[in-house]
Structure 1
């Protein structure tokens, strides 16, 4: 099956529109910091014939698919196996020090969700892996086997915003005494059994949803990576450079909002009669708040439902 039949890029037209002013000149450089299966990159390479793409992904399987999809663009494409907090090194590896546009499409990709064997989904029984880069790091099963009850509770609360975090952590520790929890179906069974009947009746969504999200974030250190990656990426942009970020869970979006707000605000002390250049905002926001997918797009592509898009443009050079 053609990858285009299984992968629909989220907010594609809007991403192109927002990045266009930064990419419309010959020799512009675009970083797709979350390459995935190459859907956004392909459309941007087609739309802007003079750009060079640097595509990053931690998943070697995704890079293979993207490489095949983008092969017709030849030497206009440089793909790098890297986590996106390594964006500065990846850009340097491609022989650049500045880039004109940056795109982040955060979270779990269609490739991960559609491959049941990766263990990302609570809807399919599979080994509890959840690593985006299967060449390195702890699996979700490792975490369930080795983390203390308090640590499990912490990640469920922080990364899943799960109200039953303590109850679920206690149930997992009790269950693993009878044998390692290595498959998603077993974890789902434990979580359902630990959920009060009234909550099962009233809760919107599956009781395992937030725990699976929390485990995925912990396995891939997603929030720590994002907290390093966003400031580093913004530092690569020249005046007129643009960055677009799509988040799918509130923790990432809140951090993006906070960083963009600080970068687009004056740092001048209150009461100064004039604003000195060094205190002027470094960026301007390109969208008001966080943009959502349209109702039509959410129907056509349900994975666009939780997206929150934010974008900014550099106004003045870094000090």
Structure 2
């Protein structure tokens, strides 16, 4: 989850803080972002068919299930098998169908369910939480956190594509510069790209700390001293988006798939955590032939939620209704 993806966890612009952070004695506690606002704006009722495209730890899905009751149906998706195994502990029932894979596979899943149940291959409501989970961030083997040592992987599913370290080892300077610029909005991309490429080709970037070391050696010292966020934040965000092809998935869902599978007057809610995602959602929802915006402006977490879950602070929720007859 989404989340960073997640129904997900929280923001990709910062490392964990407060309640979302894992200590040595317990598993990370995942807090679903803007849970009350999501449930309210989805306008849930008994009997609806709802798709949670980014299951994450299951916090949103659990509340969705309560609202739609036994007469409804929940279809949930996640690319990460670890998150599915966690969510299945709290999201379960005969009307729950969890699928290991991306939300862009929903058309095929709905067709199969339609054949077996006789229901139309449509959903009434859909949620995407484009953050990632505290559990993913806390797992050192995934490489999502640059504050801990671990393999530089960054994939939501290790069975997909190549890891970030593998991609860097074969990418040209210009490719790395482009990814850092487009996906990280990194002001020092022109410096960092060649430095990262050279180190990777030498086999010197295998772990999270290897990459952090190159970043710290390349950006101006004054930036390291004075930056509010560590310069590696944008680099890790850019590489995560690249290896998971995140923005392509979001754009494909919003512009092609969701308009096909969402029932007329159906509602879609999307939680984003950085400007690139939010821009895609805003542009998609402004296609008047497809969507009617339910919220004029994005909904943001309350000050109370941000105090309790600091990593929610960059989240934005946009909601739109599917225009009928298109």
Q: What is the TM-score when the length of structure 1 is the normalising length?
A: 0.88
Match of 2:51 among 31, 41, 59: 31
Deviation at 1:199, TM superposition (A): 1.9
Where 1:55 maps in the other structure, the secondary structure is: strand
Aligned to 2:67: 47
Aligned to 1:190: 214
Aligned to 1:169: 193
Deviations 1:159-199 (A, max 9, x none): 00001001111211232354341000111011001011122
| 1:68-79 to 2 correspondences below 5 Å | 68-71=89-92, 74-79=93-98
Aligned to 1:229: 253
| 1:111-130 to 2 correspondences below 5 Å | 111-130=135-154
Within 2, Cα distance between the matches of 1:173 and 1:2?
37
Unaligned runs of at least 5 residues, structure 2: 1-24, 115-119
Corresponding residue pairs, total: 295
2:37 pairs with 1:14: yes
Where 2:144 maps in the other structure, the secondary structure is: coil
Where 2:250 maps in the other structure, the secondary structure is: helix
Aligned to 2:78: 57
Unaligned runs of at least 5 residues, structure 1: 266-280
CA contact (8 A) 2:180 2:189 kept: yes
Deviation at 1:2, TM superposition (A): 9.1
CA contact (8 A) 1:86 1:229 kept: no
2:275 pairs with 1:240: no
Within 2, Cα distance between the matches of 1:316 and 1:25?
22
Within 1, Cα distance between the matches of 2:303 and 2:263?
35
Within 1, Cα distance between the matches of 2:164 and 2:67?
40
Where 2:180 maps in the other structure, the secondary structure is: helix
Within 2, Cα distance between the matches of 1:239 and 1:177?
52
| 1:1-319 to 2 correspondences below 5 Å | 6-20=29-43, 23-26=44-47, 28-49=48-69, 50-71=71-92, 74-95=93-114, 96-231=120-255, 232-262=257-287, 265=288, 281-318=289-326
CA contact (8 A) 1:283 1:313 kept: yes
Deviation at 1:68, TM superposition (A): 2.1
Deviation at 1:70, TM superposition (A): 1.6
CA contact (8 A) 1:282 1:317 kept: no
Where 2:319 maps in the other structure, the secondary structure is: strand
Deviation at 1:135, TM superposition (A): 1.3
Within 1, Cα distance between the matches of 2:199 and 2:63?
48
Deviation at 1:60, TM superposition (A): 1.1
Aligned to 1:269: none
Deviations 1:246-277 (A, max 9, x none): 01111111011001011xx3xxxxxxxxxxxx
Q: Which has the higher helix share?
A: 1
Within 1, Cα distance between the matches of 2:143 and 2:121?
37
Q: What is the TM-score when the length of structure 2 is the normalising length?
A: 0.86
Deviation at 1:38, TM superposition (A): 0.8
Deviation at 1:113, TM superposition (A): 1.0
CA contact (8 A) 1:78 1:94 kept: no
User: After alignment, is 213-222 or 164-173 more displaced?
Assistant: 164-173
